[in-house]
């Protein structure tokens, strides 16, 4: 159950008009009053004699009783209280009880003989209610509504337990500010999928990914089509910034600007500068290489390697260093979403959006340790948009595969420290990555599967024996997976390239966990191809020749091999994460 408090309105009747309006909003059905401060306020929804003005005047009466100069300019308090989509439909009586508890907990109408404000609760949908109050008590004072949003959240947690509803993870004050009701309603009127605040937050996050200076950051914002206002000190030093969408206007036809800190706590200019202030300065030669022509595939392969190395932090690193890698992983996700092909872009964008919550906690970030991941994000942006096929598509699958394990490790890291919302956000991110991987991996794994199926019977028997020898605890599980043929083809390529396949297979299997993988063979394919520097896309490679097969057989003839067996099964190229 989510209360969303907005304590800054000035037009009681305008808000009531929205709550009772049924013509413009599909989810507004049968709007009616379910509770009020006196239990008998007029209901314009079901009483044909009652009007919106009647209800507005009743609620505003304590405000209007004050001298004109003493009336607060922003006197309307409003919150919506929304149930989880999986919850049962609550009755009007249950919602009325919830409304009474929320206004008491927030100080709007504390009860127990204390003077309270006038309020009314309106229901116009099955899953939520709205509470409207005017911020002057019956005795003419301002209510004690300090931190009313946090107090409403705390009460909602108690209500969830008592009514057997879905229990929302408690927050820690590091979440980005939610869009206000007015912002959501404005987005609905304009036909926007998201509010301006949410669109700006994503655009700024993407502009930050891998950036190294104020100039580069603001250039990216301008390239994204945002309007920018900079705040400078008298000395000329830049202190902050605001951004706006060109078509998001207020009632006077002016753009609505949002400061970076109001988009998210880590998007203020000082917090953004912390990222690149810790970057090691690159030499001219390195910078020339990095800023020269790069390919999306090379950037994705580099990303896979950087993510692989970052996993060590979760095994041996301190919390501050781990937090830096988590924040940088968010930059990588933003950059990957921005530069990936259409068939994976939506899931990757949703993954980046979900992970935004997981990237912040109260653990202080030790910047500087995240350079490799930040460089990977920068390379992704500079490499440009990838194709959805060939080496671009295959390396996208490789990068997503590595990121899946890093994000899963992030979820475990947060959970061990009691960061409930962050752990939940990282888990949602992993699910989006799982879906993106399915879309990206179909073609390249299908090619490898067919190559594995075409390996000679003696070669497959030898690969089977090698697998059982290198991974005795996982061998039978892998042999039962459809992805085994893709792994067999990869082992053959690695061996033909001069690697010791058993040692390589063992190394990539034991250095990172495999328990969260749906298909161990898929995971080992990408780990081996990265470690052995094999092309991610095998569609243009020649088949392993008979000479190579005989040579590989001679190189391993001294290795004891248990009797092998062939495999049979349906011809499928469907990968699984």
What confidence category does residue 577 fall into, taking pLDDT thresholds of 50, 70 and 90? low
What confidence category does residue 544 fall into, taking pLDDT thresholds of 50, 70 and 90? low
Using the predicted structure, report yes or no on whether residue 511 has a pLDDT greater than 90. Answer: no
User: What is the helix (H) or strand (E) element at residue 16, kind and residue range?
Assistant: helix 12-20
Using the predicted structure, report yes or no on whether residue 158 has a pLDDT greater than 60. Answer: yes
pLDDT of residue 533: 93
- Give the global pTM: 0.76
Whether the CB-CB separation of 470 and 504 falls below 8 Å is answered with: no
Whether the CB-CB separation of 81 and 1 falls below 8 Å is answered with: yes
The mean pLDDT value of the chain amounts to 88
Using the predicted structure, report yes or no on whether residue 286 has a pLDDT greater than 60. Answer: no
HSE-CB for 122 with a 13 A CA cutoff: 26
d(CA 332, CA 572): 32
Using the predicted structure, report yes or no on whether residue 291 has a pLDDT greater than 80. Answer: no
Using the predicted structure, report yes or no on whether residue 338 has a pLDDT greater than 70. Answer: yes
Q: Which residues of 8-36 are buried (b: 16+ CB within 10 A; e: fewer)?
A: ebeebbebbebbbeeeebeeeeebebbbb
What confidence category does residue 100 fall into, taking pLDDT thresholds of 50, 70 and 90? very high
Residue percentage of the chain with pLDDT more than 70: 90
pLDDT of residue 280: 56
End-to-end CA distance of the chain: 32
d(CA 217, CA 203): 11
Mean pLDDT, residues 457-476: 94
What confidence category does residue 358 fall into, taking pLDDT thresholds of 50, 70 and 90? very high
**Ranges 355-364, 411-420, 565-574: which has the least confidence:** 565-574
Query: Of 76, 220, 44, 55, which Cα lies nearest the Cα of 143?
Result: 76
What confidence category does residue 549 fall into, taking pLDDT thresholds of 50, 70 and 90? very low
- Edge-first strand order for the sheet with 258-259 is 227-232, 238-244, 258-259
d(CA 426, CA 410): 7
Domains of the chain (ranges; CATH) run 2-163 (3.30.930), 181-277 (no CATH), 284-407 (no CATH)
């Amino acid at each position: 159950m989510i209360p969303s408090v907005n304590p800054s309105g000035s037009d009681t009747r305008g808000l009531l008009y929205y709550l009772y309006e049924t013509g413009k909003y599909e989810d507004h059905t049968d709007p009616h009053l379910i509770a009020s401060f006196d239990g008998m306020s007029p209901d314009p929804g079901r009483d044909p004699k009652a009007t919106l003005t009647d209800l507005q005047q009743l609620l505003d009466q304590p405000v209007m009783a004050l001298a004109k100069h003493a009336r607060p300019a922003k006197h309307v308090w409003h919150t919506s209280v929304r149930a989880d989509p999986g919850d049962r439909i609550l009755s009007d009586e249950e919602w009325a009880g919830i409304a009474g508890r929320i206004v008491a907990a927030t100080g709007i109408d504390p009860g127990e003989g204390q003077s309270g404000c006038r309020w009314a609760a309106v229901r116009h949908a099955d899953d939520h209610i709205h509470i409207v109050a005017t911020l002057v008590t019956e005795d003419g004072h301002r209510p004690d509504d300090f931190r009313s949003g946090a107090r409403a959240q705390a009460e909602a947690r108690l209500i969830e337990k008592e009514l057997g509803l879905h229990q929302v993870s408690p927050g820690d004050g590091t979440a980005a500010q939610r869009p206000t009701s007015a912002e959501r309603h404005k987005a609905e009127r304009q036909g926007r999928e998201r509010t301006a605040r949410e669109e700006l937050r994503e655009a700024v996050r993407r502009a930050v990914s891998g950036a190294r200076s104020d100039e580069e950051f603001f250039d990216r914002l301008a390239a994204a089509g945002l309007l920018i206002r900079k705040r400078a000190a008298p000395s000329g030093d830049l202190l902050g910034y605001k951004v706006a969408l060109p078509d998001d206007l207020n009632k006077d036809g002016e753009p609505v600007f949002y400061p970076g800190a109001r988009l998210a706590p880590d998007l203020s200019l000082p917090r953004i500068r912390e990222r690149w202030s810790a970057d090691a300065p690159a030499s001219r030669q390195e910078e020339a290489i990095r800023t020269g022509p790069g390919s999306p595939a090379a950037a994705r392969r580099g990303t896979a390697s950087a993510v692989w190395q970052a996993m060590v932090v979760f095994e041996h690193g301190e919390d501050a260093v781990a937090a830096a890698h988590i924040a940088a992983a968010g930059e990588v996700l933003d950059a990957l979403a921005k530069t990936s092909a259409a068939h994976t872009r939506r899931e990757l964008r949703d993954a980046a959006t979900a992970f935004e919550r997981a990237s912040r906690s109260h653990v202080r970030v030790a910047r500087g340790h995240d350079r490799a991941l930040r460089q990977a994000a920068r390379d992704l942006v500079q490499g440009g948009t990838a194709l959805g096929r060939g080496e671009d598509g295959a390396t996208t699958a490789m990068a997503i595969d590595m990121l899946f394990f890093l994000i899963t490790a992030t979820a475990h890291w947060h959970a061990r420290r009691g960061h409930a919302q962050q752990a939940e956000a990282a888990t949602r991110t992993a699910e989006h990555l799982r879906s993106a991987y399915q879309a990206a991996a179909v073609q390249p794994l299908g090619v490898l599967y067919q190559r594995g199926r075409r390996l000679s019977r003696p070669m497959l028997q030898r690969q089977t024996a090698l697998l059982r020898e290198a991974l005795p605890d996982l061998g039978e599980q892998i042999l039962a997976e459809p992805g085994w043929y893709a792994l067999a083809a990869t082992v053959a390529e690695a061996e033909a390239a001069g690697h010791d396949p058993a040692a390589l297979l063992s190394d990539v299997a034991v250095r990172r966990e495999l328990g969260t993988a749906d298909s161990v063979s898929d995971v080992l394919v990408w780990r081996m191809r990265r470690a052995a520097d094999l092309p991610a896309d095998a569609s243009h490679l020649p088949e392993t020749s008979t000479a190579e097969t005989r040579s590989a057989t001679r190189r391993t003839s001294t290795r004891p091999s248990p009797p092998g067996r062939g495999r049979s099964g349906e011809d499928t190229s469907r990968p699984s994460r």
